[in-house]
Amino acid sequence: MSSSEFLSQFLFTLISFAILLTLVGAVKRMLLWSQGQSSTIHWLGLLQIPRRYLVDLHHVVARDKYMSNTHVATAGGFVLSSILIILLYVFQLKLQILTWALLGSSLLMFVGSIFVMIRRRNPPPNLSLGKWQRLPKSLMVFSLSFFILTLPATGILPSDTGGWLLAVLLVAGIIWGIGEMFFGMTWGGPMKHAFAGALHLGLHRRQERFGNGQSTGLKAIDLSAKKLGVEKPIDFKWNQLLSFDACVECGRCENNCPAFAAGQPLNPKKLIQDMVIGMAGGDDAKFAGSPYPGIKVGTHKGGAIIPIVNVLVESDTLWSCTTCRACVDACPMMIEHVDAIVDMRRFETMEKGQTPGKGSEILENLSATDNPNGFDPSSRMNWAADQNLTVFGHDEKKQEVTEADVLLWIGDAAFDMRNQRTLRAIIKLLRAADVNFAVLGDAEFDSGDLARRLGDEATFQRLATSNISTMNKYQFKTIVTADPHAFHCIKNEYVEFGGNYNVMHHTGFFADLVTENKLLLDNSKELALTYHDPCYLGRYNGEYDAPRFLLESMGVKIKEMDRSKSTARCCGGGGGAPVTDIPGKQRIPDMRMADVVETKAEIVAVACPQCNLMLEGVVEPRPEVKDIAELMLDALIEGGIENTGEGVVVNMVGAQL
């Protein structure tokens, strides 16, 4: 028997056996996932895997061009090679074209693996080491082995080249390669991401995210369930468990996480890896990436039926999250970190009653007064005593109305003296544009955003349903609000409770008014200004343009920060982070203000009351913080516009200056 005959025989056995083992591993892994709670299975999604992989996933990966090209070469080469290997060596289809194809695909993969190797030479801190350092070598060995193996079959080299020596080397290489690439895929090797990732793309819990869609609202839970929230890994939905396995430990989440940067004990990557440990059992000693700041690796362990918090993950880790969604947005595997964190917070708050910091006080206030700071609910409109606002209602004596074009949602800024200034500006602008609007007055409750993100789903649902039933009493076309948190809640999270509204953030609404020439802005001012994207407006709702359009309408050339739009850094005010107040090495708003200072801007425009408070809380001297509405009011040309028959005639009283 020649060495090539032996190889062919041997490979049949080896690959068949490896595939068998891989299948066994796959079933075992699936059994791990199936420990989770039931959730809708989107079978059709499985058909979409290639498309989602090539479009949606690569859309994220391509933010790093080097990596995206490398991945195309490596992954494409591998997938193609695998198929060909199976055809050639298992089904023994000895077609010359397949052999040539295999030669090409393994070469492609080999080239990719060289780039992987180069990147892994001096790996940036966000990359995990350990088994991930082995991967480029395995890729190389796999591709090289099959490349050499295929050379004789194509006739480039005579068969039996190298004799037994090469055959033995190839056998060794193939065993390593197949072991890593096939066997490792379902038995916990680095290639697990390919197997779990592919299934995760197909069976994702938020199918709407694919094809440029958006799905950012938290999912409601049944409050009459036996257990509220997630205590143990098996309390996650099965597809969440699957998603954890998809993590490729690229650390892009870590790079974008404001809490991690501030030295708070959170690293989204480690959190997801801890969830994997929890699901499969074991400890975190083998984790080879950045730890949670301030917490040593190797001190925690977990299991599928062992409570997570304070055993596997410290509670401070969960409460450091600002729910800014930067990790989710950066994740090429489309893992939903925020969902997992909020699920665990729900158990902490609703079952254990252990919301840290001022959390419990805030939640108690919300249930007693419908606002987080416990102000008298009947004083909600005190700030507007001089504004003569039209209020929705049925009392005709008070000139209440049941119908208006716009419902102006005030939000909790009503109780905050700083943000009342923004509200006043908005009202002046609405009046300048002659918008027919009304407010809910004292009948408006907190939107529930804070309660929900602190894990108190019960309070959120109460607030949401009350607000919906209040709003359903009246007719209006649009809800306008200055608070992106309320905006997100009403737009995306009230839907599950029967509230379907056309909601606009004030920047979007004003942008339309400016386009329609209903508001005229003076564009002669030269301001050194930068714009800070609120997470709940930008990443949560994709609104990056309207605020910029408004600023540009005022003649401002925005000095963009490095981290802007979808990579904008959070101000630190979301998700109840200021309430739970987990200590770190520095404060998130200070870091964000440093970003602002770097642009040499004198003013930072914001579009969110929470950002306003957080950034204004930075010690002076610092750039001025102003809401876009305030800036617009400064630039508003009063007298506005008269519509004549011939078109728009501008009253140029102010504009000539």
Partner 1 sequence: MSELFRRDPRAQWIARNRLHPMHQALVIGPVFGPSGLLRKNLHIIGFIGPNGLKRIDRSGASNDSEQGSRRSATASEVILPLHQVIEPAFYVVVVLDLVSGRLNGHDKDTLGLAQQLANRNCGNDNGGGAVVAIAFGELKDDSLDKAGVDRLIHINDEQYAHYNPEQRCNDLQGIIAELDPQHILLPDSINGGGDLGRRLAAAMKQRPACGVWKLNDDSVVCRGSAGKSDITRPLSKLMLVMEECSEPVSETRHENIEIPQKSSRLVDGKLLDQGNISVDPNAIPLAEAGFILSGGNGINDWAQFHHTASVLGATEGASRVAVDDGNMPRERQVGATGTWVTAQVYIAVGISGAIQHMQGIGQCDKVVAINTDEGCDMVKRADISAIGDSTEILARLVELVEQRKLAKQTINEGTSNE
Partner 2 sequence: MSNNNLSVISLVSIGEHPTSRRPRRAEQDARAIELGIKLVGDNLQTLHAGKLSDDPSQQTALRSYLGMGLSEIHLLEMSENADAVLVIAEYLKQQKIDIILTGVRAENGESSGMLPYLLAEQLGMAMVTSIAEILSIDEVNQQAEVLQALPRGQRRKLKIDLPFIASVDMAAAMPRQSAFGPAMRGQFEATQAATVTDQESSGWQVADAKKRPKRLKIIKAKTAADRFKAATAKASGGGGKVVHGVEESAQAILDLLVEEGLV
Query: Footprint of partner 1 on this chain (CB under 8 A)?
Result: 357, 373, 416-418, 578, 581, 587, 616-617, 619
β-strand pairing of 301-302 with 282-283: antiparallel
Q: Using alpha carbons, list the distances in angstroms from residue 530 to 278, 546, 557, 628.
A: 43, 14, 8, 11
3-class secondary-structure state, position 297? coil
Residue 619: contacted member of partner 1, partner 2, none (CB under 5 to 8 Å, by partner type): partner 1
- In the bound state with partner 2, the residue whose beta carbon lies nearer, of 357 and 639, is 357
Q: Which of 76, 162, 291, 374 binds partner 2 (CB under 8 A)?
A: 374
Looking at beta carbons only, is 425 or 537 nearer to partner 1?
Answer: 425
Comparison of 363 and 618: residue with beta carbon closer to partner 2: 363
Alpha-carbon distance values, 391 to 19, 421, 443, 448 (Å): 69, 20, 10, 22
Which of the choices partner 1, partner 2, none does residue 373 contact, using the CB cut-off of 5 to 8 A by kind? partner 1
Q: Which does 349 bind (CB under 5 to 8 A by kind): partner 2, partner 1, none?
A: partner 2
Q: What single DSSP character describes residue 301?
A: E
Among 105, 264, 320, 349, binds partner 2 (CB under 8 A): 349
CB count, 10 Å around CB of 417? 8
C-alpha 240, offset from chain centre = 15
- Rounded to whole angstroms, how far apart are CA atoms 79 and 93? 18
CB 285 within 8 A of CB 274: no
Under rule CB under 8 A, residue 363 binds partner 2: yes
Helix, coil or strand: residue 529: strand
- By beta-carbon proximity to partner 1, the closer residue of 620 and 646 is 620
Shortest reach from residue 415's CB to partner 2, in Å? 12
User: Judged by CB under 8 A, does residue 352 bind partner 2?
Assistant: yes
Q: Choosing among partner 1, partner 2, none, which partner's interface includes residue 518 (Cβ < 5 to 8 Å by kind)?
A: none
- Comparing CB distances to partner 2, the nearer of 126 and 459 is 459
157-166 as b/e: b if 16+ CB within 10 A: eeeeebeeeb
Among 299, 367, 643, 651, binds partner 2 (CB under 8 A): 367
User: What's 582-645 look like in SS3?
Assistant: CCCCCCHHHHHHHHHHHCCCCEEEECCHHHHHHHHCCCCCCCEEEEHHHHHHHHECCCCEEEEC
Report the DSSP pairing between strands 641-644 and 647-650.
antiparallel
Least Cα distance to 196 among 208, 182, 185 occurs for: 185
Nearer to partner 1, 336 or 416 (CB): 416
Question: What residue 318 binds from partner 2, partner 1, none (CB within 5 to 8 A, per partner kind)?
Answer: none
418 binds, among partner 2, partner 1, none (CB under 5 to 8 A by kind): partner 1
Binding partner of residue 587 among partner 1, partner 2, none, CB under 5 to 8 Å per kind?
Answer: partner 1
Tokens matching residue 311:
């055993």
The angle formed by the CA atoms of residues 346, 538 and 469, to the nearest 5 degrees, is 55
**One of 369, 419, 492, 612 touching partner 2 (CB under 8 A):** 369
- 169 interacts with, out of partner 2, partner 1, none, CB within 5 to 8 A per kind: none
Asked if 350 is part of the footprint of partner 2 (rule: CB under 8 A), the reply reads yes
Write the DSSP string, 106-125: HHHHHHHHHHHHHHTTS--T
CB 356, min distance to partner 1, A? 11
Least Å from the CB of residue 444 to partner 2: 14
Tell me whether residue 160 or residue 581 sits nearer to partner 1 (CB atom): 581
The interface partner of residue 369, options being partner 1, partner 2, none and the CB cut-off 5 to 8 Å by kind, is partner 2
Query: Could you say which of partner 1, partner 2, none residue 417 binds, taking C-beta under 5 to 8 angstroms by partner kind?
Result: partner 1
The residue ranges of DSSP E strands in 448-548, in sequence order, are: 478-481, 503-505, 529-531
Q: Would you say 512 or 581 has its CB closer to partner 1?
A: 581
- From residue 193 to residue 232, what is the string marking binding to partner 2 with x (rule CB under 8 A)? ------------------------------xx--xx----
Residue 310 beta carbon to partner 1: minimum distance, rounded to whole angstroms: 21
Nearest CA-CA partner of 112 in 156, 81, 157: 81
Sequence-distant (≥ 6) Cβ neighbours of residue 53 within 8 angstroms: 198, 201
Quick one: 446 or 457, whose CB is closer to partner 1?
A: 446
State which of residues 64, 283, 351, 512 lies at the interface with partner 2 (CB under 8 A).
351
Helix, strand, coil share (%) of the chain residues, nearest 5: 55, 5, 40
376: partner contacted, choices partner 2, partner 1, none (Cβ within 5-8 A by kind): partner 2
Task: Say which entry of partner 1, partner 2, none residue 617 contacts (CB below 5 to 8 A, set by partner kind).
Answer: partner 1
Least Å distance, CB 263 to partner 1, is 12
265 binds, among partner 2, partner 1, none (CB under 5 to 8 A by kind): none
DSSP string across 56-70: IIHHHHTTSHHHHHH
Give me the DSSP letters along 455-510. T-HHHHHHHHHHHHHHHTTSB-SEEEES-HHHHHIIIIISGGGT----EEEHHHHH
Asked whether position 579 contacts partner 2 by CB under 8 A, the answer is no
Q: Output 58 or 418, the one with its CB closest to partner 1.
A: 418
The amino acid that residue 435 corresponds to is V
Q: 364 vs 516, which CB is nearer to partner 2?
A: 364
* Dihedral sign computed on CA atoms, order 280, 285, 286, 289: positive
- Can you read off the two tokens belonging to residue 568? 């904008």
- Position 294 contacts partner 2 (CB under 8 A): no
377 binds partner 2 (CB under 8 A): yes
Q: What are phi and psi of 65, to 5 degrees?
A: -60, -45
Q: In whole angstroms, how close is the CB of 315 to partner 2 at the nearest point?
A: 13
**Residues in 453-482 that interact with partner 2 by CB under 8 A:** 456-459
Give the closest residue to 506 by CA, choosing from 437, 643, 607: 607
Which one, 357 or 555, has the nearer CB to partner 1? 357
**Is the CB of 218 or the CB of 404 nearer to partner 2?**
218
Q: Cβ 369 to partner 2, closest distance in Å?
A: 5
Distance between first and last Cα of the chain: 96
Residues found in the chain: 657
Q: Which segment (95-103, 148-156, 426-434, 451-459) binds partner 2 by CB under 8 A?
A: 451-459
Q: Is 271 helix (H, G, I), strand (E, B) or coil?
A: helix
Interacting residue ranges for partner 2, rule: CB under 8 A: 223-224, 227-228, 349-355, 359-360, 363-364, 367-370, 374-379, 456-459
